[in-house]
């Protein structure tokens, strides 16, 4: 098993949409960034890339590349999913935390989880996203920005056991995802 952690922070400003977990959240400010500045998805991507020892999002999606200007971070997450599959890793689980004083995020978290799971092609029970405040302390507490933390656990295809029917037994997730290198992968 391999474990990676991710952290990201973006400044809150007026005139931008607040996108978290691929959800446009009604709020008077949004996050400043080259892409849509989806801080939780950025932290998740970095935790996945870190667990696979594939660098970070700056390496794969540099802010000096104009093709990433305003891009959806969920679309970037889909590209990270392809990298993980190409390198024969399977995501066991993701646990992520958004740190924001405002707005209240609880009503939006189920959709964030669904968006991340869909982008990564993993079951929703392999993704956990939660939100917390810093009780008015620091830059998140004062409403200057939002930060996010994420941890990801990966396994390699080689770590999976096969039963006599050659069906994978997933330690954390259920079902076949047809990952690269798997003898059960079907041609599309």
Q: Is 19 annotated as a binding residue?
A: no
Which pLDDT does position 108 carry in this prediction? 97
C-alpha 130/C-alpha 109 separation (Å) is 7
CA-nearest of 101, 160, 94, 155 to 127 is 94
Q: Is 80 annotated as a binding residue?
A: no
CATH architecture for residues 2-160 = 2-Layer Sandwich (3.30)
Q: Is 63 annotated as a binding residue?
A: yes
Q: Is 133 annotated as a binding residue?
A: yes
Q: Is 138 annotated as a binding residue?
A: no
Q: Is 8 annotated as a binding residue?
A: yes
HSE-up of residue 70 (Cα within 13 Å, Cβ side)? 2
Q: Is 42 annotated as a binding residue?
A: yes
Which pLDDT does position 173 carry in this prediction? 44
Task: Give bridge partners of residue 56 from the DSSP assignment.
Answer: none
Residue 118's CB: how many other CB atoms inside 10 A? 16
Query: Tell me: the pLDDT tens digits for 36-73?
Result: 999 999 999 999 999 999 999 989 998 888 888 888 99
Which pLDDT does position 169 carry in this prediction? 46
Which pLDDT does position 111 carry in this prediction? 98
Q: Where are the domains of the chain?
A: 2-160
Q: Is 149 annotated as a binding residue?
A: no
Enumerate the H helices of 23-123 as residue ranges. Answer: 39-51, 57-60, 73-86, 109-120
Which pLDDT does position 168 carry in this prediction? 43
What parts of the chain have a pLDDT lower than 50? Answer: 164-174, 183, 188
Which pLDDT does position 31 carry in this prediction? 93
Which pLDDT does position 161 carry in this prediction? 55
Q: How far apart are the first and last CA of the chain?
A: 29
Q: Is 56 annotated as a binding residue?
A: yes
Q: Is 35 annotated as a binding residue?
A: yes
Model confidence, pTM: 0.84
Q: Is 167 annotated as a binding residue?
A: no
């Amino acid at each position: 098993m391999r474990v990676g952690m991710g952290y990201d922070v973006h400044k809150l400003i007026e005139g931008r949409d607040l996108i978290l977990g691929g959800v446009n959240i009604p709020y008077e400010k949004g996050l400043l960034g080259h892409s849509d500045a989806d801080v939780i998805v950025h932290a998740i991507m970095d935790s996945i890339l870190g667990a696979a020892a594939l660098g970070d999002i700056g390496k794969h999606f540099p802010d000096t590349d104009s093709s990433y200007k305003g891009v959806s971070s969920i679309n970037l997450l889909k590209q990270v999913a392809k990298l993980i599959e190409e390198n024969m890793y399977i995501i066991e689980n993701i646990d992520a935390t958004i740190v924001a004083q405002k707005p209240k995020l609880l009503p939006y978290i189920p959709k964030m989880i669904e968006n991340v799971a869909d982008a990564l092609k993993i079951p929703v029970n392999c993704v956990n996203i939660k939100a917390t405040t810093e009780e008015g302390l620091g830059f998140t507490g004062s409403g200057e920005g939002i930060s996010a933390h994420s941890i990801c656990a990966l396994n390699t295809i080689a770590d999976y056991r096969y039963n006599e029917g050659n069906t994978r037994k997933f330690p954390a997730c259920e079902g076949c995802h047809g990952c690269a290198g798997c003898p059960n992968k079907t041609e599309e």
